[in-house]
Structure formats: structure tokens, C-alpha cells
């Protein structure tokens, strides 16, 4: 039985039995189900290129250790200043009340006024210490300069207390204040402080 001329271009391919639908050659596209086209770039959302950033850019800078120490000392000084202001204010009020009870209130009113002014000054300095300490986190060069002036005045006042204290409590307090003021001033005049306060703020 013959299945036709094998060289006939209109006959079935070789190896194919007549009466059956032709099978597509294996491995050749275009026959049977269409194959999915390869993915073309440019369709949909484009892939984002990797972001190249210099090391440390955009990351928050950590506060140097000496600046942290100065900040803590300012808070400690503020606590003592508030305490001293309250105590001095209470002492001045008690002095005026005693003078009024003795009938010599007019004689001590000027002294009481000075005491009250000292108490208010201590409270104001305590508020300034807290303000500077809080601003260490995001403040600029103005905070640094203000702290330098403030610590310098603290050192000057400490020296006055040491000289006039005559070895008493004022001398002891002056020594402690001198040490704190010196540490704060040293923290503000080094290169790390300049870098910290002049860094870009995000």
C-alpha cells in the first residue's frame, strides 16, 4: 500500500500518517499555540536604578561625647540655679517679714530688693542653661557662641567667688562652678563642636 509520492510538496510530511492533522515540528515557533513574546523593556513601571549616595549622606550625625557632657552639665547647673533662686527668694521674703514684724521693714526693704533681684537672676540663668542644653540638638553656631560667652561668664563668676569666699561655702561653690564652666567652654571651642553646630540640618 502506497501513501503517495514522498517528494510531493502537497502530501503529508514524511513520517506523518494520512488522515491525521499535521503536527508542528518540535522546537519551532509559529506552529500550534503562539508563544509569549519576550518581555520588552520600557513597558509598565521602569526599574529604578540603584541610588548612589556618598557614605553618611542623609543619615543623622551623632552628637559628640564632649558635647553630650556639656549638655548634661548645663542641665545640672540649671537645677542648682533654680534651687538657689528659690532658696534665696524665700530667704529674702522671710527677712522682710521679720523686719516688718519688728517695725523696721523700711530699713531692710532695699536689702530685700537686692535679694529678690539675685533670686530672679538665678532663675533666669537656670532658664538660659536649660534653653542652651535643649538647643544643642538642633541649634546652629549662634547657640555655640552664646554657650561660649555664658561659660566664660560662669568661669569669671567662679573666680570671684573663690577669691571672696575666704575658704567658706562660696569658695567651694566657686571651685565646682569653675570646673563645670571650664568643661563646657572646652567642649564649645574644639573642632568637634564646630562640626556639630555647623552641620546641615535636615
pLDDT at 129: 95
Q: How far is CA 179 from the centre of its chain?
A: 27
3-state secondary structure of 78: helix
Give per-residue pLDDT as tens, 52-93. 444 445 566 788 899 999 999 999 999 999 999 999 989 888
pLDDT at 56: 47
What does the domain layout of the chain look like in residue ranges? Answer: 65-197
Orientation of helix 105-135 relative to helix 65-102, angle to 10°: 170
HSE-CB for 153 with a 13 A CA cutoff: 8
pLDDT at 9: 60
- Cα–Cα distance, 47 to 66 (Å, whole number): 45
C-alpha cell recorded at residue 58:
542623609
- Cα–Cα distance, 189 to 57 (Å, whole number): 25
Higher pLDDT, 192 or 50: 192
Amino acid at each position: 500500500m502506497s501513501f503517495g509520492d514522498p517528494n510531493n510538496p502537497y502530501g503529508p510530511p514524511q513520517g506523518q500518517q494520512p488522515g491525521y492533522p499535521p503536527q508542528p515540528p518540535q522546537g519551532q515557533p509559529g506552529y500550534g499555540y503562539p508563544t509569549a513574546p519576550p518581555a520588552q523593556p520600557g513597558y509598565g513601571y521602569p526599574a529604578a536604578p540603584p541610588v548612589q549616595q556618598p557614605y553618611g549622606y542623609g543619615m543623622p550625625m551623632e552628637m559628640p561625647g564632649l558635647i553630650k557632657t556639656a549638655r548634661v552639665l548645663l542641665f545640672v547647673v540649671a537645677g542648682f540655679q533654680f534651687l538657689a533662686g528659690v532658696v534665696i527668694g524665700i530667704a529674702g521674703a522671710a527677712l522682710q517679714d521679720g523686719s516688718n514684724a519688728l517695725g523696721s521693714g523700711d530699713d531692710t526693704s532695699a536689702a530685700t530688693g537686692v535679694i529678690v533681684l539675685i533670686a530672679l537672676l538665678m532663675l533666669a540663668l537656670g532658664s538660659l542653661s536649660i534653653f542652651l542644653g535643649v538647643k544643642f540638638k538642633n541649634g546652629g553656631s549662634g547657640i555655640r557662641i552664646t554657650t561660649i560667652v555664658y561659660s566664660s561668664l560662669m568661669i569669671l563668676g567662679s573666680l570671684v567667688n573663690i577669691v571672696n569666699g575666704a575658704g567658706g561655702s562660696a569658695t567651694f561653690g566657686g571651685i565646682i562652678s569653675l570646673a563645670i564652666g571650664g568643661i563646657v567652654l572646652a567642649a564649645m571651642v574644639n573642632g568637634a563642636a564646630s562640626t556639630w553646630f555647623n552641620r546641615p540640618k535636615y
